C-alpha cells in the first residue's frame, strides 16, 4: 500500500511540476529564450496569493484568476519594454538579462519580505481525501485539476484561436510571419505574458502546498529546464510527461535512495542532456504541432 | 582614498590596454599600477574593499577563460569558489581530525583538487553547447552545497569522516607580522597582499595564455568549434583545460576569501551565493569578455560603484543590498553596454550617451 501511495504522491506532484514547466517551455520554444526569471515569477505569484489570503482572507483557489491576470500583465510589460530590446542579440544575451531580472526580483523580495517561511493555509490546507489507506491532500487534488485544465486550455488556444496561430507562426518563421502582418513584438509580449500567467498559477498552488521564502525558488529554473529537456522542447504532451516522470523519480528516489533532491535533479539533467538531448517527444519549437 | 586607487587602476589599465600605444608608456603604466597596489595598504585606512575587489578579479579571470575565451558561458563557478574554500579549510583547520597544514600547502592543494573535480565534471558537461552547458553548470552550483553537507561522504561515519565538518569549518587565525621594524597587521596588510597575488596570478595567466597556442585554440573554438577541430585543434582537451583553469582560479579566490573570513559555512552568503555567481560574470561583462584587461577594469568599476554607494548611503547595511545592486548593474550592462568597456578602449571610439542608446536599440524587435 505504501508503494501505491508513493505512486499517487509522484503523480500529484508531477502534474503540478508539469504546469510549472509549461510556461517555461512555451517561452523557450517560441521566443527562444531560456527564461531564468521564471522562478522569480513563481515567487511573485506565491507572495501575491499569500498576501491576498492573509490580508483580505481570499481563498487561494478563488484568487487564482487574479494572480494569473496580475502575472500576465507583469510578463507582458517585462517582455514588451525590456526583453524585446535584446531579442535579436546572440542567445546568451537574453539568458544573461533574465538572470539579472531574476536576481534583482529575488533580492528585492528578500529585502521587502525577509527570509521568513510563509504558507497560505485555508481551512482545507492540511486535510486529505482518504480512500482506504490512501491519502490525497485536497490542495494537491486542486493542483492536479488546475494543472490539467490549464494545459488543455493552452493546447486549445494555440490550435484554435487566431492569436494562437499567430504565436505558432512566429515560432515557425519570424520573417514570414511578419510579412503576413503579424505584429512580432506584440506576439512575443503575449507569449511571455501567458508563460508568466502559467508560472503564476503554479506559484498560487505552491503557496498552499509548501512553505516558502524568497530564496527557496531558485531550484525551479533548473527543474523547469530539466522537465522540458526530458519531455522534449516544443511539445505540450512532452511537458506533461516530463513533469510526471520527474514527480515519480523525485518521490521514489527521495524515499528509497537519497534525500539530496538537488543532486537527483542534476543527475537526471546530465543523463538526459548527454544521452538524448532532444528529449522523449522532442522537436524544434512549437512550429511543428 | 580607495576610490582614488580604483580610479587610478582603471585609468592606468586603460592606458596599458590601448592597442596602438607607445611601448614605453605602456610599461610605465603597468609599473605605476603595480607600484600603487604595492603601497596601497600604507596609504589607505582600510584595504577591505581592495581585497574584495582583487579576489573577485581573480575569480573573474577564471570565468574569463571558459566564458570569455572559449565562449562556454559557465553559470556555476561559485560552486568551485565555495568548494575551494571548504577544501582549503579542511586541510588548514585546527579542529580535531584536520591536519592544520600551513596556507602555502593547504591553498595550492585545494586549488589542485578543485581543478581535478572540475576536469572530471568538464569531461561530461563540455559535450553540451550553449544554453545546455550553462544550465548544466548551474546545476553544479545548486548541487554543490548538498554534496558538501552529504553525510554519506563527509558525515561522522562517512567515506572521509567529518572532512567538511558538516558544512561549517574554521580557518586558523593569522597573527600580525613584524618585518624590518614595520608592523604588518593581518587584515590590513597580509591578506591584502595575498589577495593582490591572486589577482596578479589571474592577470599573468591570462596575459600569458591568451597569446599562446592554447589561447588561440580557445578563441577558435568560440568562433566555430567544427572548423577549429578540422584545423587540428583538440577541442575537448582545450575546453576541459579552460574549465579546469577557471575552476582553479575560482578555488584560489574562494580559499583566500575564506582564509580571511576565518569561519565558513554552506549557509554563508559569502560562498555558495547567487551574488558570487553573478559577480564574476558582471565583472567580465563590464570590462569586456575574452580580453586581458577586461576583468581588471571591470572589477574596479563594479567595486568602485559599490564603494560610491556605500559612501553615500552610510546608514544602510550594504551587504544586504549587494545582490540588489548586482542585479541592477547586470541588467543595465546587458542592455546598454553588452560588449564591455574594452570595445571602446580598443577601437578608440568615444563612450557617449549616444553609444549607450545605440547599443540599446541595436537588437530590438
Residue A215 reports pLDDT greater than 90: no
Cα-based angle A244, A247, A250 (whole degrees, multiple of 5): 145
Instruction: Flag if B139 and A270 touch (Cβ within 8 Å).
Output: yes
Residue A243 reports pLDDT greater than 80: yes
Instruction: Return the sign of the alpha-carbon dihedral for residues B105, B107, B108, B114.
Output: positive
Kindly report the average pLDDT of chain B as a whole number: 87
Cα-based angle B124, B127, B128 (whole degrees, multiple of 5): 110
- Confidence band (pLDDT; 50, 70, 90) for B201? very high
Express each pLDDT in B350-362 by its tens digit.
778 888 888 888 8
Chain B residues 6-65 within an 8 A CB cutoff of chain A: none
pLDDT of residue B8: 86
The stretch A243-265 carries a mean pLDDT of 80
pLDDT of residue A64: 94
B150-159, B240-249, B335-344, range with the lowest pLDDT: B150-159
A84-88, A89-93, A279-283, B205-209, range with the lowest pLDDT: A279-283
The stretch A105-134 carries a mean pLDDT of 87
N-terminal to C-terminal alpha carbon distance within chain A: 40
Instruction: Flag if A100 and B327 touch (Cβ within 8 Å).
Output: yes
Instruction: Flag if A96 and B146 touch (Cβ within 8 Å).
Output: no
Position with higher pLDDT, A227 vs B183: A227
- CA-CA distance, B336 to B352, in Å (whole number)? 11
- Residue A239: name the closest of A54, A75, A19, A49 by CA: A19
* Model ipTM value: 0.87
Determine contact: B268 vs chain A, CB below 8 A: no
Residue A260 reports pLDDT greater than 90: no
Residue B330 with chain A: CB contacts under 8 Å:
96, 99-100, 103-104
pTM for the full model? 0.87
Helix (H, G, I), strand (E, B) or coil at B168: strand
Contact A176, A169 (CB under 8 A): yes
Contact B140, B79 (CB under 8 A): yes
pLDDT of residue A281: 61
User: At B149, which helix (H) or strand (E)?
Assistant: none
Structural domains present in chain B: 2-362 (1.10.3470)
Written as one string, the DSSP assignment of B10-64 is HHHHHHHH-TTS-HHHHHHHHHHHHHHHHHHHHHSS--HHHHHHHHHHHHHHHHI
- Residue B90: name the closest of B184, B25, B171 by CA: B171
Express each pLDDT in B320-364 by its tens digit.
787 888 899 989 999 998 888 888 888 777 778 888 888 888 888
- CA-CA distance, B277 to B283, in Å (whole number)? 11
Long-range contacts of B90-99 (CB under 8 A, 24+ apart): B90/B163, B90/B164, B90/B165, B90/B169, B92/B171, B92/B172, B92/B259, B93/B165, B93/B169, B93/B170, B93/B171, B93/B172, B94/B170, B94/B172, B95/B165, B95/B169, B95/B170, B97/B161, B97/B162, B98/B169
- Phi first, then psi: give them for residue B292, nearest 5 degrees: -75, -45
Determine contact: A278 vs chain B, CB below 8 A: no
Q: Which residues contact A127 (CB under 8 A, 6 or more apart)?
A: A137, A138
pLDDT of residue A129: 85
Determine contact: B363 vs chain A, CB below 8 A: yes
pLDDT of residue A283: 57
- Confidence band (pLDDT; 50, 70, 90) for A100? very high
pLDDT of residue B278: 85
Matching residue, cell 524587435:
B365
pLDDT of residue A289: 41
pLDDT of residue B53: 94
Instruction: Return the sign of the alpha-carbon dihedral for residues B246, B187, B296, B263.
Output: positive
Amino acid at each position: 500500500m505504501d508503494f501505491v501511495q508513493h505512486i499517487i504522491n509522484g503523480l500529484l506532484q508531477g502534474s503540478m511540476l508539469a504546469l510549472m514547466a509549461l510556461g517555461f517551455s512555451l517561452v523557450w520554444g517560441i521566443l527562444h529564450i531560456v527564461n531564468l526569471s521564471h522562478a522569480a515569477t513563481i515567487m511573485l505569484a506565491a507572495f501575491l496569493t499569500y498576501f491576498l489570503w492573509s490580508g483580505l482572507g481570499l481563498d487561494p483557489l478563488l484568487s487564482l484568476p487574479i494572480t494569473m491576470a496580475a502575472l500576465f500583465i507583469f510578463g507582458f510589460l517585462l517582455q514588451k519594454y525590456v526583453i524585446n530590446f535584446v531579442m535579436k542579440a546572440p542567445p546568451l544575451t537574453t539568458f544573461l538579462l533574465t538572470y539579472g531580472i531574476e536576481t534583482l526580483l529575488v533580492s528585492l523580495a528578500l529585502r521587502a519580505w525577509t527570509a521568513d517561511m510563509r504558507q497560505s493555509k485555508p481551512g482545507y490546507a492540511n486535510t486529505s481525501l482518504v480512500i482506504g489507506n490512501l491519502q490525497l491532500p485536497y490542495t494537491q487534488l486542486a493542483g492536479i485539476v488546475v494543472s490539467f485544465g490549464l494545459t488543455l486550455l493552452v493546447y486549445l488556444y494555440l490550435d484554435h484561436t487566431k492569436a494562437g496561430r499567430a504565436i505558432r507562426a512566429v515560432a515557425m518563421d519570424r520573417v514570414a510571419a511578419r510579412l503576413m502582418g503579424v505584429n512580432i513584438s506584440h506576439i512575443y509580449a503575449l507569449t511571455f505574458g501567458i508563460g508568466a500567467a502559467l508560472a503564476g498559477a503554479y506559484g498560487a498552488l505552491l503557496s498552499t502546498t509548501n512553505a516558502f521564502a524568497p530564496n527557496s525558488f531558485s531550484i525551479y529554473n533548473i527543474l523547469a529546464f530539466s522537465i522540458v529537456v526530458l519531455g522534449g522542447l516544443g511539445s505540450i504532451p512532452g511537458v506533461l510527461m516530463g513533469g510526471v516522470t520527474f514527480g515519480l523519480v523525485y518521490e521514489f528516489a527521495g524515499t528509497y535512495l537519497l534525500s539530496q533532491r538537488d543532486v537527483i535533479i542534476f543527475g537526471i539533467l546530465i543523463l538526459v542532456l548527454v544521452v538524448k538531448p532532444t528529449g522523449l517527444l522532442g522537436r524544434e519549437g512549437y512550429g511543428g504541432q | 582614498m580607495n576610490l582614488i586607487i580604483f580610479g587610478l587602476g582603471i585609468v592606468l589599465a586603460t592606458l596599458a590596454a590601448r592597442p596602438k600605444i607607445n611601448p614605453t608608456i605602456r610599461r610605465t603604466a603597468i609599473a605605476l599600477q603595480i607600484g600603487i597596489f604595492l603601497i596601497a595598504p600604507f596609504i589607505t585606512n582600510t584595504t577591505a574593499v581592495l581585497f574584495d575587489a582583487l579576489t573577485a578579479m581573480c575569480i573573474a579571470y577564471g570565468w574569463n577563460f571558459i566564458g570569455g575565451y572559449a565562449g562556454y558561458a559557465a553559470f556555476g563557478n561559485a560552486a568551485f569558489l565555495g568548494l575551494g574554500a571548504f577544501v582549503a579549510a579542511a586541510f588548514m583547520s585546527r579542529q580535531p581530525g584536520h591536519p592544520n597544514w600551513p596556507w602555502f600547502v593547504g591553498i595550492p592543494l585545494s586549488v589542485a583538487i578543485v581543478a581535478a573535480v572540475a576536469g572530471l565534471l568538464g569531461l561530461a558537461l563540455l559535450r553540451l553547447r550553449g544554453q545546455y552547458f550553462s544550465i548544466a553548470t548551474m546545476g553544479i552550483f545548486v548541487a554543490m552545497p548538498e554534496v558538501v553537507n552529504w553525510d554519506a561522504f563527509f558525515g561522522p561515519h562517512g567515506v572521509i569522516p567529518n572532512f567538511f565538518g558538516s558544512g561549517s569549518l574554521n580557518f586558523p587565525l593569522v597573527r600580525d607580522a613584524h618585518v624590518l621594524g614595520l608592523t604588518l597587521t593581518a587584515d590590513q596588510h597580509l591578506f591584502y597582499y595575498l589577495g593582490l597575488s591572486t589577482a596578479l596570478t589571474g592577470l599573468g595567466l591570462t596575459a600569458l595564455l591568451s597569446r599562446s597556442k592554447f589561447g588561440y585554440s580557445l578563441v577558435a573554438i568560440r568562433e566555430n568549434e567544427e572548423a577549429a577541430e578540422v584545423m587540428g585543434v583538440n577541442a575537448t582537451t582545450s575546453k576541459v583545460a579552460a574549465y579546469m583553469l577557471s575552476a582553479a582560479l575560482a578555488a584560489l579566490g574562494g580559499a583566500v576569501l575564506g582564509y580571511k573570513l576565518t569561519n565558513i559555512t554552506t549557509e554563508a552568503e559569502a560562498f555558495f551565493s547567487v551574488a558570487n555567481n553573478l559577480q564574476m560574470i558582471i565583472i567580465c561583462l563590464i570590462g569586456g569578455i575574452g580580453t586581458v584587461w577586461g576583468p581588471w577594469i571591470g572589477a574596479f568599476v563594479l567595486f568602485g560603484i559599490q564603494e560610491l554607494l556605500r559612501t553615500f548611503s552610510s546608514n544602510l547595511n550594504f551587504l544586504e543590498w549587494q545582490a540588489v545592486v548586482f542585479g541592477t548593474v547586470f541588467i543595465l550592462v546587458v542592455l546598454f553596454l553588452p560588449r564591455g568597456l574594452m570595445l571602446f578602449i580598443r577601437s578608440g571610439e568615444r563612450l557617449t550617451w549616444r553609444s549607450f542608446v545605440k547599443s540599446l536599440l541595436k537588437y530590438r524587435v
